[in-house]
Amino acid sequence: MSPLYSHIHSLSDFSSKLNGFASKSVRIRQNSKYSNGFRCYRDVSHSQQTSPENSPTSVTVKKRIVSGVQPTGSVHLGNYLGAIKNWIALQNTYETLFFIVDLHAITLPYDTKELSKATRDTAAIYLACGIDASKASVFVQSHVHAHVELMWLLSSATPIGWLNRMIQFKEKSRKAGDENVGVALLTYPVLMASDILLYQSDFVPVGEDQKQHLELTRELAERVNYLYGGRKWKKLGGRGGAIFKVPEPLIPPAGARVMSLTDGLSKMSKSAPSDQSRINLLDPKDVIANKIKRCKTDSFPALEFDNPERPECNNLLSVYQLVSGKTKEDVAKECQGLNWGSFKPLLTDALIEHLHPIQVRYEEIHSDSAYLDSVLEEGARKASEIADATLKNVYQAMGFLRR
C-alpha cells in the first residue's frame, strides 16, 4: 500500500535492511513446533481459497492480504503501474486490508501540520486509482489502537540483537547522531510485524526479489508461538495451538518496472531530487507535456523495444504500451517508423488520457470529506473486529489479567 518520506513503501519493505538476520535467527524456527517453512505463492489463484468441495463446513473463506502505505510524498506513475494496479486486482480474489501507516511516518522528523493532510490525500488517491471500499477495508493505522498495543507485547519477545542489525537504523543514527534519533527508528520493524500479524494475514504482496522481506515478521510470529502458544496457552484457558499465522509472501503478476525520465537505468522514484524524473499521478496536463518533451532520449534512428543500448527508448515505449492498453507487438509496429519528435506527443496524449479519470475521481473524493471519512471509519471498524480478537488472544496467552 505508499508514499512516505520519499516514495511508496509496502509493509514488507524493510528486509533489505535485515542483512543476515535470517541466518542468525534460524534456531527459533528449528525449535518451533509451529514452523511451516518458507514458501512463496505466485499470482492470484482460486486454489488459494477454501472451496465448498474441500471445506468441511462448505463455506468459502477468502485468504487474507494486508498492505500499508505511508502518507508522505506523491504517488507517481511507477508506483501505479508497478504495484497499485496489482493490488487492485488482489481485492477481487482475496480479503484485503489496505491502510495508511501514519505511525510509521513519525520515525524521522516530519511536519506535524502536513501529517493529517497527507494521510487523507493518500487515502483519496488510492481510492481514485481503483481500490474499492466495498471490497477492501481502507483505514488509517492509528485509528486501530491494537497496532500499538500489539507492538509493545511483541517488543517484549523481540531480541534486541535482531533490531541492532538493521542497516537503516545504523545508517540514520550514524548520520544524525544518537541524541537526534528516536527509539522508534530502532523499533519500527516490530510495528511492521504487528501490522501484519494483527490481522492473521495469510499473504503479504512482495516482489520477486523481496522474498526475504517478511523474515523478521515470520521469525517473530514463530518465536511468540513457541514461547506462549500450544499447551501453555491452553492451560491458561485459551484454545491452544498457534497464536499467530505465519504469513507467506505472495508474488503477484509482474508489475511494470517504470524507469526514470532522466535515466533509463534507474527506477522512477520519489526520492530522486528532480521532479523532472517522474510523472506524478496528479501532474497537470501542461506539466506532463513538459516532462515528456524534456525527457532523456537517444540519437538512434527509429524506435525499438529491448535494445540494451537504448534503455530510455525501451522505457518510454513500455510506458506507452501500458497506458494505451495496446500489446507490445502493436506498439512496436505503430512506432517503428516514428522519430522522437513524432512519438513524444503520442505518449503525452496517452498519458493525459489515462490519468485524467484518476485525477477527476481524486478531486471528487478529496472534496467530499464526508464520504472519505465514512470509508476510513468503516474500514477501521472492520479492521478493529479482527485486530481486537487477535489482541485478546495474545493478552490471554501472555498471562495478563483481563477486564
Using DSSP bridges, classify how beta strands 136-140 and 95-100 pair: parallel, antiparallel or unpaired: parallel
Active-site residue flag, 270 = yes
Strand-by-strand arrangement of the 248-251 sheet: 41-42, 248-251, 203-205, 64-69, 95-100, 136-140
Q: What is the DSSP string of 175-218?
A: HH-GGGS-HHHHHHHHHHHHHHHTTT-SEEE--TT-TTTTHHHH
- CA-CA distance, 166 to 170, in Å (whole number)? 7
Q: Which of 17, 85, 211, 267 is catalytic?
A: 267
Active-site residue flag, 17 = no
Amino acid, res. 310: R
Q: What is the DSSP string of 53-116?
A: TT-TT---B--EEEEEE-SSS--BHHHIIIIIHHHHHHTTTSEEEEEE-GGGGGSS---HHHHH
Q: Which of 245, 270, 291, 344 is catalytic?
A: 270
Three-class SS of 365-383: HHHCHHHHHHHHHHHHHHH
Q: Which helix (H) or strand (E) holds 340?
A: helix 340-367
Instruction: Estimate the share of the chain in helix, then strand, then coil, as percent rounded to the nearest 5.
Output: 50, 10, 40
Are the CB atoms for 350 and 108 separated by under 8 Å? no
Active-site residue flag, 175 = no
Give me the active site residues, please: 172, 267, 270
